Structure 1
């Protein structure tokens, strides 16, 4: 469980980032793309992102051996250029310490050794890789991310204004509590963070559904990046053309499971679902189990009868704009 300890000054100093941070969102997207997860939800998106990454972005993998990124990559900047400038301004001692931490006894590529030595050519490699990844992954959806961020900002501001900061904090992390100056976030990695008067910056991410990320550097406000949005990475404007929602869903889930999800707007027994899909009971049950594992369907047993129904997330996939299916 994550526990964040506030002082009175910290509660007064809670801030919501007014704009999304391009590099933080890019790193969240890349982390989600390479981390195993529920294929029915993210498989097609992961495949598309990984295919889109150009060769020039390859050095980013060298910076994260064994999934352990150096902290100097965590910067908040309103633009990509500003973020890259902040990375380049990292103290040489911190760069060396972090590269030693993430690589340990492992051999490092030549350009990483150049980064350790402060060579300008290696820093240019970092910049090229970040820009190439941004153009492939984030640039097509950046306007969508900005819109989602504005919505999250407005929700937080309204909740804080009407109910107070404590209510706003717990609203952005369902299931969390704030008692006696300690914000407890169940399900997150076990960690105690003491703000000690430094304050807290809240940054929503729309590409990282797996839980909170923390930037806790001495002498700076702690930055908490939390999962926001519907739980699925955004797509470019126009990619979700309402004329083709059925085809997009079928490509993501498979045609039979997409049809099952549409049929389960109301509860159906396994037998009823099998008849509607024109498959065997065993096949219908297997499809329902896969959708349930992805959080798209719930299953209830009453005596010998089993019924399945679409969840709110499943409805969001089938009816993305809230229209009648």
Structure 2
């Protein structure tokens, strides 16, 4: 069991990573490649990926002897280039300590490039950088768009749960087996570990390849990072479903169709009654949905005289990027109110 202790002030510093972390997701995929209890679907994917990985990826495996990974591989940067450079920023003495820790059972087994990395050799760092990029290009780049869509859907699900029920409830419902009580968050794991947030903040980061227990990174003077399995339980495929927009389907599954339609319309300002006419629902229904979206930070609402005007925020726009109200208006079954968009309606 992993137990994470919060103070009252720590709740204000729990945040959800706005984007997936390329090398953290890569590490999750590589971990799944070497697991033996991953079921039929992941088993087939694992065997296919291991057969097809280029030789340039091998140094990444050298860094994880016997399943132990050095802490400088816990990389949470949100862009690939920053992530590839991140391990080099570690202090040389800490890099040496981590390499000695993971190779302690068999110190003579370290390959020459690992020994060079232990000395701080610049070319050894370049070997690791090339290995990470090769692994990313082969295993993740083909599915990165899907992975980003899944991350946005999970981001929205969490934001709505926090808005409607509070952060404690959201943490308790984040993964199966989680429990939040008396300012302590319990996560199911096959070992005992106790962590105090202690003012450092906590970051929630979903991963869509890993299917095991939550993974926690607890480094001094840095936020605690909890990586948890949030994927569909099957390997991601570079092929998108035929005749369907998987991003929109994922968001609709999380938000609900009406809330997603509201977000699509609110690229422009609309009143409550204007939205109700566009969607063919009652003003009360729109008010309930806009309250939930506003609580999640996805839309903003201002009063202008007798009118109440809604518009999506930057966060809401990020969730529905590459979509627009025209798509919604052209859907079958929607009434055409283009001629009314310029009218200002009261609540």
Q: What SS is found at the alignment partner of 1:172?
A: coil
Runs of 4+ with deviation above 3 angstroms? none
Mapped to 2, the partners of 1:122 and 1:40 lie a distance apart of: 37
Equivalent pair of 1:188/1:212 in contact (CA under 8 Å): no
Q: What SS is found at the alignment partner of 2:173?
A: helix
Q: CA deviation at 1:141?
A: 0.6
Mapped to 2, the partners of 1:215 and 1:47 lie a distance apart of: 29
Mapped to 1, the partners of 2:54 and 2:242 lie a distance apart of: 26
Equivalent pair of 2:189/2:214 in contact (CA under 8 Å): no
Match of 1:236 in 2: 238
CA deviation map 1:50-82 (0-9, x unaligned): 122100001111100111110011121111110
Mapped to 1, the partners of 2:140 and 2:175 lie a distance apart of: 25
Q: Are 2:99 and 1:99 aligned?
A: yes
Q: What SS is found at the alignment partner of 1:160?
A: helix
Q: Are 2:203 and 1:201 aligned?
A: yes
Larger Rg: 2
Q: CA deviation at 1:219?
A: 0.5
Q: Are 2:48 and 1:40 aligned?
A: no
Match of 2:227 in 1: 225
Mapped to 2, the partners of 1:74 and 1:40 lie a distance apart of: 28
Query: Which of these residues, 119, 122, 134, is aligned with residue 121 of structure 2?
Result: 119
Mapped to 2, the partners of 1:31 and 1:177 lie a distance apart of: 26
Q: What SS is found at the alignment partner of 1:151?
A: helix
Equivalent pair of 1:212/1:224 in contact (CA under 8 Å): yes
Equivalent pair of 1:195/1:222 in contact (CA under 8 Å): yes
Q: CA deviation at 1:164?
A: 0.3
After superposition, the CA RMSD in angstroms is 1.5
Q: Residues 187 and 59 from structure 1, CA distance in 2 versus in 1: closer, same or farther, beyond 3 angstroms?
A: closer
Match of 1:190 in 2: 192
Match of 2:17 in 1: 17
Q: CA deviation at 1:155?
A: 0.3
The number of equivalent residue pairs is 242
Q: Mapping of 1:1-325 within 5 angstroms?
A: 1-104=1-104, 105-107=106-108, 108-238=110-240
Mapped to 2, the partners of 1:181 and 1:63 lie a distance apart of: 37
Equivalent pair of 1:207/1:227 in contact (CA under 8 Å): yes
Q: CA deviation at 1:241?
A: 5.3
Q: Residues 2 and 85 from structure 1, CA distance in 2 versus in 1: closer, same or farther, beyond 3 angstroms?
A: same
Q: TM-score, normalised by structure 2?
A: 0.67
Equivalent pair of 2:41/2:234 in contact (CA under 8 Å): yes
Mapped to 1, the partners of 2:153 and 2:89 lie a distance apart of: 32
Q: What SS is found at the alignment partner of 2:101?
A: helix
CA deviation map 1:129-168 (0-9, x unaligned): 0001001100011011100000000000000011000111
Mapped to 1, the partners of 2:161 and 2:30 lie a distance apart of: 31
Mapped to 1, the partners of 2:114 and 2:38 lie a distance apart of: 33
Gaps of 5+ in 1: 243-325
Q: What SS is found at the alignment partner of 2:228?
A: strand
Mapped to 1, the partners of 2:169 and 2:238 lie a distance apart of: 33
Equivalent pair of 1:176/1:183 in contact (CA under 8 Å): yes
* Larger displacement relative to structure 2 (171-180 or 93-102): 171-180
Mapped to 1, the partners of 2:127 and 2:175 lie a distance apart of: 37
Gaps of 5+ in 2: 244-347
Equivalent pair of 2:173/2:179 in contact (CA under 8 Å): no
Q: CA deviation at 1:191?
A: 1.1
Match of 1:281 in 2: none
Equivalent pair of 1:144/1:237 in contact (CA under 8 Å): no
